[in-house]
Structure formats: structure tokens, C-alpha cells
Structure 1
Amino acid sequence: MKTQSFLLFVLSLITSVVSLHFDLDAAESTKTPYCIRDFVSEGQLVVVNIHSSGSIGDGQQLSFNIHDSVGNEYRKKKDFAGNVRVAFTAHASAAFDVCFHNVLQHQGRRLSREIEVDIEAGSAARDWNAIQAAEKLKPVEVELRKVEELTNEIVGELEYLKAREERLRDTNESTNRRVRNFSFVIIISLIALGAWQINYLRNYFRSKHII
């Protein structure tokens, strides 16, 4: 029992879950969307649960769009209310945005929607109850599987950060090398130009019998 409690405590610390609750006022269609950003690794499962108050036809048109920073669009829905569940697998390691746009249908009124967003990624997004029933696992075994998957995700994140740091370091070294070479070319060009000017002025003064 103590082991299970400890595992639950560990999971509560490292599980990737984002939950937000906010009010979104209805405005003109030109207003900038309200976006929530999170980061996801390539191949990682993401589940976005959205709940909105109100109803369709209440004078405001609520829409959402889920896309990442490299151009992949995962879901787009216009004029919705109530509960929406979106599950997708990330195509790339990148930040993704869940953007909301609430358009006022009738001018002169002030309307808003209450929105609740839950974002689960990785092992937190999996249906562990279904896995437990399908594989007939004990509760402790389920918790161990969760910890194992979370550990693998953390290791994957560290490897990604290491590879990214190496790419940035290589880019930085390449840039420094190019700047250094360019500086050498500039210095050599200035020296050559100065020598040519001196030689030209010397020949000019000699032709004029000044020297």
C-alpha cells in the first residue's frame, strides 16, 4: 500500500497535464485569437478535452483550431458548444497551440463563454483503465507501467535536448568560423587596397615629376 501511494505521488509530480479555465468574451471577427501553447515530442499522444458553456445559436460563434509551430494542423472546429475531445499523435517535436476565436453575431450585446481546457500528453493521455482491463493488470502493475513510460518519455526528452544543443553548438561554431574567415578576407582586401593605392600614388607623383 505504501509502495502504491509513493508511485501515485511520483506520478502527480511528473505527469504532463495542463488544465485551464477562463472566460472568452465575444468580439468582432478581426480580434486576435486566444491561444494556449504547449510542447510535444514527435510521436507522442496528445488528448485535448474542451468544455464550453452556452449553446449554438446563442449570439456568439465559438471556434477552435489546433496546430503546431511547423505547420501541421490537427483539428479545426467552427461554431461549437459543450464537450469536445480531440486526440492526435504529434508529427514533429514542436510547440502546438490550441486557439479559440469567439465571434459576436449581434452587435450591441456583451456575451462570453466559459471555457475549460485539459491537455494530456504522453502516458497521461492513455486510457489506463482499458489497458488494465485488457491485460488484466493489478493496480500496482499499472502504476509501474505508468512510471516506466514516463521514465522513457523523460529519457527521450533529454536525448532530444542533447541533440538540439549539439545542433545549436555546431551552428554557433560554423557561424564563428565563417565570421572569422570573412574578417580575414576583409583585412587582406584592405591591405591589398592600401598597397595598390600607395603604388598608384607613387607612380602618379613620379609621372608628374613631383618625386
Structure 2
Amino acid sequence: MATVPLLWAPRGKATDCHFIEAPVERAAPPRCASCIDLNSPPTTPTSSSPSLPTTAHSIYSDTQTMVHARSVLQNVCSALLLLAVGTEALKFDIQAGSGHDSLSRRCIRNFVAKDMLVVVTAIVDGYKGDGMQLNMHIMDAAGNEYGKPKDIAGEQRTVFTSHADAAFDVCFENILTGNKYVQNPNRHVELDIDIGADAKDWAAVQASEKLKPVETELRRIEEMVGEIVSEMDYLRHREQKLRDTNESTNNRVKWFGFLTTFLLVGLWAWQIMYLRAYFRSKHLI
């Protein structure tokens, strides 16, 4: 509603003029169905019209919630993908030697907990009788031997269960055999070590238990998480043992320091008494 000034004058009196404000109706601007007027008060939606956000604050809050939920979902998916991705095999070459020298021997060390399933797969190029003999030896730091195959070529698979919480070594030794000349005395080895959940045949588990692929993958991830928890518990126990050893060593060093100080004070007192008696016997004091 707006007002427009109008000129009004009585008949016969042209000089006596008055302005009268007459109301004029203006057409309302077209309303956008998808727009929200921030200056207008919130309206209550009726049953016939669909409910729309009433204020910009509610829209901002909903947007922030959706962004946060999407970020959390992306982080969870990234973690699952990192757990699901397998590691590539270790590839290296071993030069053949005439004896037990350092160039013809290569060892790979890994740590394993007790009663863990371990699968060692080695793929070696060449063939038997080519003038080189590649031997493999698997043993842990406690002295337990898990396999000692000789003259391997192609794929060699060794499966064992660890007997102790210790590091185990997978050693390869390439030795020249016979008088045959070898042009390139090297063997290429691809080594893959699977421990725990990675060592299981999940295809067989899926077939035997009739699981879906997603369920099988979740089972594998669950076992991997359980292994991580067990490893963290082992590290915690190791930390406790090292802390106890530290405290015991500190206590022993403290008492050793007290004993050394007492002995030094006693030796100093004995020397003073001895020198005083000696000087008195010589009538020097």
C-alpha cells in the first residue's frame, strides 16, 4: 500500500489548494517457490504444502551435518581399503658363488607371535641343473627350524605355525655346482610372506561357510584387527617388563652408589687414623 499526493481545490477558490494523499494499490512482486525470505518471519507449513526449511540457520546446520557424516564415511572407507589392500612380493637377485660367501647368501627377517600361521611363498626363476643350486632355510631366533628345501626352482610354498614369540629368518643361498659355465650366475627371487589372517585361504572359508564376499572380507578384517590388538597387548607386556627391569637396575645402582660412598668415607677415616698414629710414632706431631 502506497500513497500518491493529489491536488484538490474548491470551486471558485483557485488559490486555496490542498494536497490529499490517496491510497494506491501496487502489485506484489512474483514470489519464487524455491527462495527463502530471510527478513520475513517463519511460516508454519500447512498439511497441503510440503515442509520447507524456515530459516537459514537450519539449512546451515543440516548442511554441516551432511558434510560431517560424509567426511566420517570417507575416513571409514579409506581405512577399510587400506586394510584390504595386500602388499606386493619382495623381489631381489642372488648372485651365485662357489662357497658359503656373503654375496651368495641373502636373508629376510620378520617378527611373528607364537602360534601364528605363516605361509612363505618363493618364486624362483631358472631350472634345476642350470649350474646353480638355490637353497632355502627358515628358522627363528629361538633355534626352531621350519623348513630347509634345497635346489628349488619355480614356486616353493612352505606353511608352518610359529613356536615362539621371536623373529624368523628366510635365508637363500645360491651355489655354483659342477664345471658348467654359467653366463649370468644370478637367480631372481620373488618372496611373499603371509602371517595370520593373510595366510588363510579365504576362498575355501567362503565356500565352506557359504559366506557372501562382503561377509568374507569383514571376517578377514576382523581377524586382522584382532591380531593388531594382540600385538599391542604384547608390546604393552614388553613395556611393563622393560619398565620393571629399568626400576630394578635403578634401585641396584642407587644401593651400589650408597655402598661405594660408605666405603670411600671409611677408607678416608682409616687413612686419617693411620697417618696420625704413624706421625705420633715418629714424634712428628
TM-score (norm 1): 0.91
Structure 1: gaps of 5 or more residues: none
**Corresponding residue number in structure 1 for 2:232:** 158
Determine the structure 2 residue equivalent to 1:112.
186
Residues paired across the two proteins, number: 207
Q: What percent of counterpart residues are identical?
A: 51
Distance 1:140 1:80 in 2: 38
Separation in structure 2 between the aligned mates of residue 47 and residue 59 of structure 1, nearest angstrom: 29
- Report what 1:130 is aligned to: 204
Distance across 2 between alignment mates of 1:153 and 1:75: 25
SS at match of 1:113: strand
Q: How far off is 1:11 after superposition? A: 2.5
Q: Is the 8 A contact 1:64 1:101 kept in 2?
A: yes
Residue of structure 2 aligned with 1:59, choices 116, 127, 131: 131
Flag structure 2 segments of 5+ consecutive residues without an equivalent: 1-72
Q: CA–CA distance in 2 between the matches of 1:96 and 1:210?
A: 75
Q: Which has the higher helix share?
A: 1
| One-letter code aligned to 2:81 | F
Hey, what does 1:182 align to over in structure 2? 256
CA offset digits 1:15-74 (Å, max 9, x no partner): 6x5621111110122212201111111111110111111111111111010111222111
Please say if residues 84 and 221 of structure 2, whose CA atoms lie closer than 8 Å, have aligned partners that are also in contact: no
Residue 20 of structure 1: aligned partner = 90
Deviation string, structure 1 residues 107-153 (Cα, Å, up to 9, x no partner): 66441111111111110100111111111111121111111111110
What amino acid does structure 2 have at the position aligned with 1:63?
N
Looking at CA atoms only, which structure, 1 or 2, has the larger radius of gyration? 2
Q: What is the TM-score when the length of structure 2 is the normalising length? A: 0.68
Partner deviation per Cα, 1:89-112 (whole Å, 9 max, x = no partner): 111122111100001124664411
One-letter identity of the residue aligned with 1:138: K
Distance in 1 (alpha carbons) for counterparts of 2:240 and 2:88: 29
Flag the structure with more relative contact order, 1 or 2, with Cα contacts below 8 A and sequence separation at least 6: 1
Q: Which amino acid aligns with 1:202?
A: R
**Which position in structure 2 is the counterpart of 1:46?**
118
Structure having the higher strand fraction is: 1
RMSD in angstroms over aligned alpha carbons? 2.1
